[in-house]
Amino acid sequence: MEDDSNGENDVDTDEDSDIKSVIFKAIDYDDVALLTTVICDRKISPNFYKDETAPICKAAAHGNVAILAVLLHGNVILNVPDIKDHMWHRQPIHIAASKGHTHFVRVLIENGVHVDETDRDNRTALYWAAVFGQSDTARYLVSVGANVDAVQADGYTALHAAACFGYCDVCQVLLDGHADLQLTDKDGWNVCHSAASYGHLQVVQLVVNSGIDINTRTKANETMLHCAVSSGRLPVVQYLVQQGVTIDEKNSYGFTPFHLGIFYKRYEICRYLAEAGAKVQTTNHKGQTPCHHVAVRMDEEFLILLVKVGYNFSSESWIHENAFPITCVKTNEKVYSMLRYLAANCRSLKDLCCLEIRHLLGIDYKSKVHSLILPHLLKDMISFKDMSE
């Protein structure tokens, strides 16, 4: 039978189709004896496609090295792409690595497959092992010289992938293999930004403890804190603040993390950042304030939050000029009236005193306030004890 590995569009005879089906059935059911009869005894070549998949690709998905041994006896081509995998055209080594079939991967490499063979998107076997959390396979690939910093088409590395999916053990394997923490994708995101955005606290802790700059920035000048806030990852936000991340840095659009939290409606995060001493009075590069975004959404809940954290509504010139977002005026008279009232009435002396004391005490004001010689009620006000009311 001729080798038609590059002729997937050829028309099969009934006999051809039957024998191909037998080979695939033997692989699916791990029937080594049947496959041996067809490949070794009858001398049928395993180098063909059926339904856009080659036998070696099917075998890689199953991971049976005994099946692989038979295919090798039939001079199987080891680096053919799986055409049915329309997006990536992964090769057997990529498929096996993604499934965690370490022994299968080892045999492929021992028989000449390059450890850093790439698919159509420049993804290596190590990358695919990272995507699916296959730490043992990743460890083996690193041990035989896989490039831990290989970059796929959009700039992502295996470390990026493991961080996105929260595979801390794979991240550790890659870091042990000296993966570069500073490598960035096309948007300037390194592994920390990816981990923070996807909310994987253990991975964030791992990479921070590995020595990366906690204030490292993307091309949009966003820190890990910006990424965590945008995605609503409160535990990561809390950890980063506790580790001393710069809390009021602005990104390329002029948004601080607190301002981003208002924009993306991250209530608990905004509350936490305010309690941690973040500046709530801030303006982005379009001249928009947190109060403006609250008004656009007619958001009474966030308006009350701004009141409780000491927001200075009287500084909002657009309120005094009655230049409200049209949505606020027409559909939420209550929010409109509240904003008018808050802008017209200065903050109380009590609110101003609490705000100033918090700023003077710094980020640890909650623990420090108890040592002050003040009435308990005032201490509660300073430490936001009424925030849940």
Q: What is the DSSP letter of 37?
A: I
Work out the percent of the chain whose per-residue pLDDT is above 70: 92
**Residue range 72-86, pLDDT digits in tens:** 999 999 999 999 999
Domain covering 348-389 in this structure, CATH number: 1.10.750
Residue ranges of the domains in the chain?
181-279, 289-347, 348-389
Q: With b meaning 16 or more CB within 10 Å and e meaning fewer, what string describes 63-92? A: bbbebbebbbebebebebbbebbeebebbb
State how far the Cα of 24 lies from the Cα of 67, in Å rounded to an integer.
11
Closest CA to 299 of 311, 309, 290, 308: 290
**Residue range 290-343, pLDDT digits in tens:** 999 999 888 899 999 998 888 999 999 988 888 887 766 556 788 888 888 888
For the record, the structure tokens of 164 come out as 């996105």
Task: Give residue 217's pLDDT.
Answer: 96
Q: What is the DSSP string of 313-341?
A: GGG-HHHHTT---HHHHHH-HHHHHHHHH
Task: Give residue 298's pLDDT.
Answer: 86
Summary mean pLDDT of the chain: 90
Closest CA to 85 of 94, 97, 77: 94
CB atoms within 10 A of CB 176: 11
State how far the Cα of 77 lies from the Cα of 20, in Å rounded to an integer.
16
Q: Which residue type sits at 138?
A: A
Residue 5 confidence class, pLDDT cut points 50, 70, 90: very low
Residue 375: partners with Cβ closer than 8 Å, 6 or more residues away: none
Residue 270 confidence class, pLDDT cut points 50, 70, 90: very high
Closest CA to 294 of 345, 355, 335: 335
Residue 316: partners with Cβ closer than 8 Å, 6 or more residues away: 289, 291, 292, 339, 343
Domain covering 181-279 in this structure, CATH number: 1.25.40.20
User: Taking the model in full, what pTM does it have?
Assistant: 0.85
State how far the Cα of 303 lies from the Cα of 300, in Å rounded to an integer.
5
